[in-house]
Amino acid sequence: MSKTILVIAAHPDDEILGCGGAMARHSAEGDKVYTLIMGEGIAARDGISLEDRNEAQEKLLRSAIQANKTVGASLLEFQKLADNRMDQLCLLDIVKLIEAQIELYKPTVIYTHYPQDLNIDHRLTSQAVITACRPLPGFCVKEILFFEVISSTEWQLAGVDPFAPNYFVDISNFLELKLEALKAYESEMRSWPHARSLENVAHLAHFRGASLGLNAAESFMLGRGVR
């Protein structure tokens, strides 16, 4: 039976870095995949004019549409919460935005950030999703999976629980699509040996895969599963 999947990411590109392969696989298997991006991904960069910022924002939106199309997902409207300033917003407002989308699309599976990621927006998004997913009677979401975002999750230091995956998706047949989608996010990607390079994305996928005897995988931490 086909499922409805909702991916909730802080910034454009996090969704593909975190679970682009799983999105492509869900889509190929007939599931409906929606992506909700909370922040605009531009504002945190200092020293650019409003005009340049608007242009960069437009370009990033086009990239996001293209990238999500590549993995068979529909991009929901950008929420445009200020990049890396989400901590200045009321958590309840972010929760309400997410609750409204859950109410509308009734996903059974949600993918989002790891709650102890290095990036503040990633942590807040995760917290807001967990709050929006309080399991009240009749609640639609049966599975919440936390993804890792290369160049952020692994940059966290000692003192918090490290990302320790316990749920894996074989993306051997979908790694190419994930890399293709990331090429649409050209402005966000960096050259090897930066952690956020296409090479490193492929390395991580092969590492996660080989940990299980697979060619390529994405790994997650199961937040909650109900069956």
Binding footprint of Zn ion on the chain (CB under 5 A): 10-11, 14
Residue placing its CB nearer to Zn ion in the complex, 21 or 41: 41
Q: Which residue is nearest to Zn ion (CB)?
A: 11
- The least CB distance from residue 18 to Zn ion, in Å, is 9
Cα(125)–Cα(130) distance, integer angstroms: 9
Contacts of 62 (CB under 8 A, 6+ apart): none
Residue placing its CB nearer to Zn ion in the complex, 34 or 147: 147
Contact 219, 148 (CB under 8 A): yes
Cα(21)–Cα(27) distance, integer angstroms: 10
Strands of the 74-75 sheet, one edge to the other = 74-75, 32-37, 4-9, 109-113, 143-147, 217-225, 167-170
- The least CB distance from residue 180 to Zn ion, in Å, is 20
Residue placing its CB nearer to Zn ion in the complex, 11 or 25: 11
Cα(214)–Cα(205) distance, integer angstroms: 10
Residue placing its CB nearer to Zn ion in the complex, 42 or 205: 42
- Among residues 6, 3, 15, 28, the alpha carbon closest in space to that of 174 is found at 28
- The least CB distance from residue 3 to Zn ion, in Å, is 25
Q: Which tokens sit at 22?
A: 């799983």
Q: Which tokens sit at 28?
A: 């190929």
Q: Residue 119 — left, alpha, or beta (φ > 0 → left; ψ -120 to 50 → alpha)?
A: beta
- The least CB distance from residue 117 to Zn ion, in Å, is 8
For the chain, the straight-line distance linking the first and the last C-alpha, in angstroms and rounded, comes to: 15
**3-class secondary-structure state, position 35:** strand
- The least CB distance from residue 195 to Zn ion, in Å, is 13
Residue placing its CB nearer to Zn ion in the complex, 65 or 118: 118
- The least CB distance from residue 188 to Zn ion, in Å, is 9
Residue placing its CB nearer to Zn ion in the complex, 14 or 31: 14
- The least CB distance from residue 170 to Zn ion, in Å, is 25
Residue placing its CB nearer to Zn ion in the complex, 14 or 40: 14
